[in-house]
Amino acid sequence: MRDAINNALKESMKARDSARSGTLRLINAALKDRDIEARGKGREAASEDEILATLSKMVKQREESAKVYEENGRPELAEKERAEIAVIRAFQPKQMDEAETRAAVQSIIAETGAAGPKDMGKVMGALKERYAGQMNFGQVNGIVKDLLAQAAG
Domain 2-89 sits in CATH at 1.10.1510.10
Please state the domain extents for the chain: 2-89, 98-152
Q: What is the DSSP string of 17-58?
A: -HHHHHHHHHHHHHHHHHHHHHHHTT-SS--HHHHHHHHHHH
Domain 98-152 sits in CATH at 1.10.10.410
Q: Return the higher-pLDDT residue of 52 and 13.
A: 13
pLDDT of amino acid 72: 96
pLDDT of amino acid 136: 76
User: Are residues 139 and 122 in contact, defined by beta-carbon separation less than 8 angstroms?
Assistant: no
pLDDT of amino acid 153: 67
pLDDT of amino acid 17: 94
pLDDT of amino acid 42: 82
- Give pLDDT tens digits for 112-153: 888 888 888 898 888 888 887 788 777 888 888 888 888 776
